[in-house]
Amino acid sequence: MAQIHHKAIVPLALFGLVLGCAQLGGIGGGDSNLPNRGIVPYVVLEAGEPPSPYVLPSRLDENIRYLEPYGLVVDDTVYLYVEERNLDTGDSTIVLATSTDKGVSFSEPQPVLTTSDEALLPLAGPSLSCGADTCLMALGYGNGEGFLFAEGPAEGPFTIVDKWTFEITEDYEQDGVASPSIIPHGDGYAVYYHSRADADSPYVIARADLAETVTKVGVVLEGECPEDAALFDCWEPDGVQHPDVRISTTAGGQTLVRMMYRGRLGTSGSFGFAASEDGLLFVKFFANPIFESEQTIFHPTNVQLDDRYLLFFTRSAPGNSHGVALAINADGKPSEGF
């Protein structure tokens, strides 16, 4: 069984009180050295007539839902990979839509990964790590059974490869694994994902490393109520889900692993931010949650384009409203690049 690393998560506001100038996970001085842009504030897009927050609305008349987006910037174009699921048949396809107007509107989604193997359906939660000519996609399969990996150019198509086998092996994974987020790590990759031990346990975010084989590293982020309830709201007692992990460089040249994620409270949730220098010990932003909604929101994915940070997410609202929505942070010059 994998060892669980760094399970204690220290809120950023306590850094100075507890550690002074000492380093916690390599982030010296606490939240003062975290990126101060791309965290807050985010304003939901309202475009079109009538105004809508959706950049990729689900095709409700056909019972087609767009789920679990992943954003990627290629030159000045935003690539948005999503799961397209047919609720009538259970079929799912990974599709790609692109935007040349800074993420405000997107082309008609086109398939980039399909499968005829019903045992793998639904394909879900795509995430990419790209080199100069090709990308590696991580995605879930079979309603939480494990992860697949596929290779192809950013524009697709992608082909499933059998280099790694990622299945449920750990105690904290027994109720399923989902929402992989892949980044380069050494000569291989690191994959962050959410899981839980059983139906009564809170969700956690864990990490596994891909090299010649898959190595389960352990839990890196948990949701829990802070001890000082007068200072912090209890907004994620039922766990943390849907990590979106990026490698970033701050204005001071510091490399950080930054994570957007969903904190769960009952069946609802809000988005939080955490960062790490080593990819193991993540420090939560003191003002979490950074994005809340009266509607149901899932699967945040965050990209930087010029002087704006774009936060795409799945949104579901009463009145037959569903799709991929967008919130924008455009408050001045970015303090980092990723």
What is the percent of the chain where pLDDT is above 70? 84
3-state secondary structure of 54: strand
Strand order in the sheet with 214-222: 177-185, 188-195, 204-210, 214-222
Maximum distance among all Cα pairs of the chain, rounded to whole angstroms = 57
- 303: tokens are 């990209």
pLDDT in tens, 115-144: 999 999 999 999 999 998 999 999 999 999
**Token pair for 239:** 């766990």
3-state secondary structure of 60: helix
Position of tokens 């490869």? Answer: 161
Name the residue with higher pLDDT: 156 or 232: 156
> What are residue 323's DSSP bridge partners?
57, 315
pLDDT of residue 47: 83
Q: CATH code for 12-337?
A: 2.115.10.20
Of the listed ranges 12-21, 113-122, 255-264, 295-304, the one predicted with least confidence: 12-21
Backbone phi and psi for residue 280, each to the nearest 5 degrees, phi listed first: -120, -50
Name beta bridge partners: 147: 140, 166
- Where do the domains of the chain lie? 12-337
Residue 22 pLDDT class (50, 70, 90 cuts): very low
pLDDT, tens only, 292-313: 999 999 999 999 998 889 999 9
Query: Residue type for 79, please?
Result: Y
Q: From CA 102, how far away is CA 328, in angstroms rounded? A: 10
pTM: 0.89
Burial of 62 (0-12, 13-18, 19+ CB in 10 A): exposed
Pairing of strands 23-24, 135-141: unpaired
Q: Write out the two tokens for 111.
A: 């398939």
Strand 240-250 and strand 64-74: pairing?
Answer: unpaired
Q: How far apart are CA 34 and CA 283, in angstroms?
A: 9
Average pLDDT over residues 176-196: 97
